[in-house]
């Protein structure tokens, strides 16, 4: 069900579901990102699915889009 790097996502939940479905949640990013969470905490995003240490907000990015921090989705559950 992988459609290469052409996927378009409506929201962060779709990105998160795709990362989990592909089995990449715990995989390491090619380049870690410094994330400034909405709660004011700053942390290093090292895996395709990461959590803010302070508020547990979820951040996710697909492997095809993991080279630009602008592609990181924040998810509120």
Q: What is the mean pLDDT of each run of 10 residues along the chain (77 residues)?
A: 68 94 96 96 98 95 94 89
The whole-number pLDDT of residue 3 equals: 54
Q: What pLDDT, on a 0 to 100 scale, did the predictor assign at position 77?
A: 73
Q: Under a CB-based contact definition with an 8 Å cutoff, are residues 72 and 35 in contact? A: yes
Domain boundaries, the chain: 12-75
């Amino acid at each position: 069900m992988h459609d290469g790097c052409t996927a378009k996502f409506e929201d962060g939940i779709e990105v998160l579901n795709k990362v989990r479905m592909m089995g990449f949640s715990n995989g390491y990013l090619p380049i870690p990102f410094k994330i400034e969470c909405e709660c004011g905490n700053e942390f290093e995003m090292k895996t395709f699915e990461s959590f803010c240490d302070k508020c547990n907000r979820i951040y996710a990015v697909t492997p095809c889009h993991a080279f630009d921090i602008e592609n990181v989705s924040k998810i509120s559950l």
